[in-house]
Structure 1
């Protein structure tokens, strides 16, 4: 089968097209004929071995696939790696049947980015109706869905932060009440101004560095910042517990693989609700384009440039 393989860690240049044997499914796993592979920002960290879970070489990257099972069911599935290929093994507990009303590309937009936005709002930040929500990287896969879900979950005001006029206009079309340029010299001041002069209740942050520091300073008493990525590759300042108490604020982190291990059906509940919203036309995944499998390197370059909008996918059949 054709697959993208990494034999040394680094940037997009380490993604190479290769001919590899089909993967051997483990106990309970099924071999999926992949119709689309999802490209996730975490994949860029996996390629350079800077992700939360260390990688080992050689590696076929990718953790999101959509395709057909041997018995003909359309599924979207998660795996720790192996998604950038014509065939991939999927565990039943991390596979979700795609409704007829939902496309493969839409399903891939939901299984990591949609679930991330759902968990951030409902579990990490525990959004209450009427609260204000800041969504950083609002033009990305998580951000475009988080803006919509925040409104669906009852947010009083959604402030979208994005790097270009096109992305900020899209955020407004998706339901944001105000937008902020991500290059604002003082993010604290910009967020408070965009929230009508009031400090904000919830911040969803995957940027890191000064953006995180200045967003924490924009929180209202009992405000929460949910940290789920570090696209800037810059560490924020260490959190001082005394300051959390002094300002009655909370800083929390979220990594989606932990959700997979929770008791109960948290991931299943999230996917069922997301599928239902898309099927009913009440949630619109934003699709940023599909690249042939052989051009995975170009997809990573586009993602790291922060010039993309919405969800990127690979077509293993192209």
Structure 2
């Protein structure tokens, strides 16, 4: 199979199209003929030598993909050869074929095409696990999404609105219009406005990708019994 590989760390010029052995599905795995994948920040960092893959994972870049099921490993049920799926990967998405644990493979709904689906698993799984499963966002609550114009942010805005929440977001001024199109109602330009002052004590859930430097202001923005997910 063909794959995008690297033999040294560096800028995009180190990416090479090479021939690699076809993977085989192990027990509990699904082999996927890849139709699309995406570029995540972790891929950029791995290419630069700043984000090594987990032990045992493929050295090939690519943390998600969409495609069709080519083969099923022992013990896999719920899928059939030819099914259109997307998958969350530990690596290997930048290739024509990849084997993924069946628990990380998801069937595509009819309205989602294979190209679009290649960029869904990372953001969808991140947002759903943090905002819904851990924080328990409910209808009528206020969700603050930091970095609303990025991959995680754009997905979180849409999930929040679909669940009936009011959504506030931080982004640069030129990107706030797109956030509004996706459903954000409270638009905060992080260059000129302080979200802690704007939302003081009103945010029920905050999805934060900034970490320590936002912690004090996140706490100031949280409502009583509010939930902060990082």
| Correspondence for 2:180 among 172, 175, 184 | 172
Q: Please, what TM-score do these two structures have when normalized by structure 2?
A: 0.81
The separation in 1 between residues aligned to 2:12 and 2:195, in whole angstroms, is 30
Distance in 2 between residues matched to 1:182 and 1:14, nearest whole Å: 35
Q: Measure how far apart 1:209 and its partner are.
A: 4.5
Where does residue 162 of structure 1 map in the other structure? 171
Structure 2 stretches lacking a partner, 5+ long: 71-80
Measured at CA, do residues 224 and 52 of structure 1 come closer, stay the same or move farther in structure 2, by a change above 3 Å?
A: farther
Q: Secondary structure at the match of 1:144?
A: helix
Q: Output one character per residue of 1:67-111: Cα deviation in whole Å (capped at 9) or x when no partner.
A: 122232211122211001112112322222223221113323432
Instruction: Provide TM-score, normalisation by structure 1.
Output: 0.61
SS in 1 for 2:117: helix
Distance 1:84 1:129 in 2: 38
After TM superposition, the runs of 4+ consecutive aligned structure 1 residues lying more than 6 A away are: none
Given that 1:200 and 1:223 are in contact with CA atoms closer than 8 Å, whether structure 2 keeps it comes out as yes
TM alignment of 1:295-314, pairs within 5 A: none
Q: Which has the higher helix share?
A: 1
Supply the distance in 2 between the matched residues of 1:72 and 1:173 (Cα, whole angstroms).
36
1:102-123: CA deviation from partner (whole Å, max 9, x where unpaired) = 1113323432212222222212
Query: Contact between 2:37 and 2:119, CA under 8 Å: does it hold in 1?
Result: no
Work out the number of aligned pairs and report it: 220
1:222-241 to structure 2, matched below 5 A, reads: 222-227=225-230
Report what 1:90 is aligned to: 100
CA distance 1:25–1:181, change in 2 (3 Å): same
* Residue 218 of structure 1: how far off its partner (Å): 2.1
